[in-house]
Structure 1
Amino acid sequence: MTDSRPIVLTGDRTTGPLHLGHYIGSLVNRVALQDSHRQFLLLADAQALTDNMGNYLKVRDNVLQVALDYLAVGIDPAKSTIFIQSLVPELSELASYYLNLVTVARLERNPTIKDEIRLRGFERDIPAGFLTYPAAQAADITAFRATVVPVGEDQIPMIEQTNEIVRRFNASVGQEILVECKAVVPRVGRLPGFDGKAKMSKSLGNALPLGASPDAIRQAVKMMYTDPNHLRVEDPGQVEGNVVFTYLDAFEPDTAMVEDLKARYRRGGLGDMVIKKQLEARLQALLEPIRTRREDYARDPAQVMAILKDGTARAREAAAQTLDDVKRAMGLNYF
């Protein structure tokens, strides 16, 4: 019997273990989606190489690390197909066809690409693979005929460009071969680093990995940015921009309790250590079972790689069917 559930494509660049920002931004949704959708979970090692060719061994090692994070948070390989991007060559062939449907100028106008180029200081010295990644991402999505793609707000332009490519391809062959997809943005947007900077990032040293030890969690919360003008307990404090409250909003399910803390903090009479203790207790409870499951899987890396091998085989089968349909539509079915 054919599985008629909607198809969702998710994934992460394999540039390091996942952290709390990934968890609240996407991993919670992915665990839920695997019960209602056919989910393909991509370990984007090929994408990571677009600006990490000098660190290819790190990219290789992080395939296992990211897979451990997926399994630790509750991704079930019996429900979700976890696969390695570089081992599905059909994706590269699809991307090569899609590149004929976009211009260099259009790629350079993609807001996500523009921001990433600026962030990395490439200026005009842009790796070609990095600039053309929107076409590669379109291949990742369309290969599995995904209709749903959970992304952060900054990735919406990539989804828009994927749909442009879908429409152009279908128009060029006169058939509805590829399907458009919808971006799904999580309730909580990008989580700031615990130092108050706008983005949580391992490279900035302000991220808390999912496998963090109890002491690392404690130290991170202790360092968290609050209200610099809240010098005494009795002083009124500001909630907006206060990282501790941002994290409580993201991770504490008792919203009434959080709102009460905010009201007391604004009035004055509530110290920073009180709210930090509340947040630490919540993060310790959240990460302890994830850390334990991660450690259990890490004891048997061969088992994890077997899961990835099986998932990659299933992903190749799905991608090969789409590639065959695309080539037939273009008249490339010679034999």
Structure 2
Amino acid sequence: MTAASLLSPPKAATSRGRVRRRVLLFALIGIAALFTLLTVSLTTGEMSIPAGTALRALVGLGDSGDVLVIQQFRAPRAVAAIVAGAGLGVAGCVLQRLFRNPLASPDVMGVTGGASLGAVALIAAGATQTLIPVGALSGGLLAALLLGVFGWRSGLAVTRLVLTGLAVQAALAAAVNLMIVRFPAELAGSALQWTTGSVYGRTWTEVWGAGAAMLLALAAAFALHRSLAVLDLGDDSAGALGLRTSHARLRLLVVAVVLASLAAALAGPVTFVALAVPHVVRFLTGPPTAVSLALAGLTGAVLLLASDLVVQHLLPVEGLPVGAVTATLGAPWLLVLMLRQSSPVQRSHG
């Protein structure tokens, strides 16, 4: 061994140091972006409010008109986007690792269809706006129940769960479309807007309720991260290490579904966020760790809040839901992912 080799740091340690620096830089940029977007969301609109005035109004100080605009309209909408985006980011990260499939998302697993069914059913019943998120959460949990019942016979095998999720999603989406077609004209527009995804009109009651539940679900996701890391090794290796893979997968699936359902309760069935965020985090920070879940939540919050600002201020059409922006981004992203997944197969047959 040469003197130079003794003086140089090991390659593994150098690589870990680079990853930690990259993760720290990514986190700092994400926090700065979130703070900037939140400031923009509070200060811009039909009535421009200076940042200092908006912050004072947020805590109830200053002109009563400013306080009303900030506290009752802008702040709940922005916080709802942050909470929903964080839940979708973590849910997507858990599902993609759980199923070892880069295309896994709440849409695939039927959560979106269940949330839509629950919300549309309450709209049809004439429920108030406050109760619609409750219906969305109930519908998402119903989708999880159906997924567990139909997938249980295979011991919650990955392939069967994905196929079952697709079937559940298709059936629930068909039920939603049938209900909307049968709606009176005055209800159909409201139902269609909700099924696209929107944070318009959120109240502090909805935000605090969903936010508190989201914190509990996020804590559960971090507590189960070790089980998720062991499942990354494969079922055989996980079983050899003493992990009951079916039970661990079921617990993680329930947590992911609850996160996605709570996000849908606040923002409707927003697409693309849960699908794209895990890929962005993995590309920028490397292999998944416990920190990856936190970064996925941060990235999801930034992405959904930014999309809502685009809807409010950059598009020429007023009244578009935030889901219109995320769906527009999601279609080409999904196509690219499918092409990347199929390219190794194509090369192997070439």
Structures share fold, TM-score greater than 0.5 = no
Q: Which has the higher helix share?
A: 2
The structure with the greater share of residues assigned to strand is 1
Aligning the two structures, in what range does the TM-score lie when normalised by the shorter sequence?
under 0.3
| TM-score, scaled to structure 1 | 0.23
Q: TM-score, normalised by structure 2?
A: 0.23
